[in-house]
Chains A and B, each alone.
Chain A
Amino acid sequence: MSNGNNQKNTKMQEVQVKDFLMEFIPELFKNMGEDVHVRVSKEIDTMFVSVELDDPAVYIGKSGECLASLQFIINMILQRKEWNAVRITLDIGGYKRRQIDILKNIAQNAALKVRRFGRPVELQPMSAFARRIIHTTLKDNPSVFTHSIDEEPRRRVVVDLRK
């Protein structure tokens, strides 16, 4: 019963958050002299917010640093408003979509390597977001499993043969 209420609550928050973002993000960028187009779509454990504008590079930044900052700020604001059930993943100019594709490729290649050589493969240190993409990409793979080792900022995924 309380679970049903939680679900209803989450659903309500999602609607409120979407309305807020559709107003807040264009206004924020307008303040910085940019005209943007925003799209919000619900994904399994996040709300994916994609922003399109003429010159996305500025707001993506080196290795996506500025994009990460913007995402952090927006999630902070959502928490302040007590919309704790909702987290957003921010994308600008399709940067994150491309990153996700690259990471999925890395995951599949590592799985192939593990199967071919029968040895675990250790990936480069990655952000929590990137590691999660690797884990989810391979979670239903029948021949390998994944886990993370070491601590931030050196935390990285190991792909190993399923016993």
Chain B
Amino acid sequence: MFKDTLLYIVKQLVDNQDKVVINELVGEQHLTYEIKVDPSDLGKVIGKQGRTINALRVLIRAVSNKHGKKAEVNVIEA
């Protein structure tokens, strides 16, 4: 549902845009997102003390909530 949104933002944050892959799992009440980026870009998506990934989580949770769903967003090394 918000795969494109995440992809759109994450691509702006990383150096290796073509390495960004987002997996989306749509459940009845849950949305799960797995962001895969190049190892050298991990820090850029996570941010200092996780501030960037947390900001992404807040945003995705907010829009998911609008559609009555809970969302989880995680980052992994590609």
Closest A residue to B5 by beta carbon equals A31
Interface residue B76 (Cβ < 8 Å from any Cβ of A): no
Interface size class of chain A, counting residues whose CB lies under 8 Å from the partner chain: 20 to 34
* Neighbouring B residues of A76 by C-beta, 8 Å: 13, 47, 52, 55
Tell me what chain A mostly uses at the interface: helix, strand, loop, or mixed.
helix
Interface residue A58 (Cβ < 8 Å from any Cβ of B): yes
Q: A58-B66, A77-B12 are in contact. Are A72 and B5 (CB under 8 A)?
A: no
| Complex: A49 Cα to B52 Cα, angstroms | 20
Q: A59-B62, A61-B58, A66-B58 are in contact. Are A73 and B52 (CB under 8 A)?
A: yes
Give A66-112 interface residues, CB cut-off 8 Å to B: 66, 68-70, 72-73, 76-77, 80-81
Asked whether, in the complex, the Cβ of B51 is within 8 Å of the Cβ of A58, the reply is: no
Asked whether, in the complex, the Cβ of B52 is within 8 Å of the Cβ of A27, the reply is: no
Closest A residue to B55 by beta carbon equals A69
Tell me what chain B mostly uses at the interface: helix, strand, loop, or mixed.
helix
Give min CB distance, B13 to chain A, whole Å: 6
Give min CB distance, A81 to chain B, whole Å: 8
Asked whether, in the complex, the Cβ of A80 is within 8 Å of the Cβ of B59, the reply is: no
Q: A72-B51, A80-B13 are in contact. Are A31 and B58 (CB under 8 A)?
A: no
Query: CB within 8 A of A31: which of B4, B62, B65?
Result: B4
* Neighbouring A residues of B66 by C-beta, 8 Å: 55, 58
Give min CB distance, A43 to chain B, whole Å: 23
Sample of 7 further A-B pairs with CB below 8 A, known A58-B66, A72-B51: A31-B2, A32-B5, A58-B65, A70-B59, A77-B9, A80-B12, A80-B13
- Residues in chain B within 8 A of chain A (CB atoms): 2, 4-5, 8-9, 12-13, 44, 47, 51-52, 54-56, 58-59, 62-63, 65-66
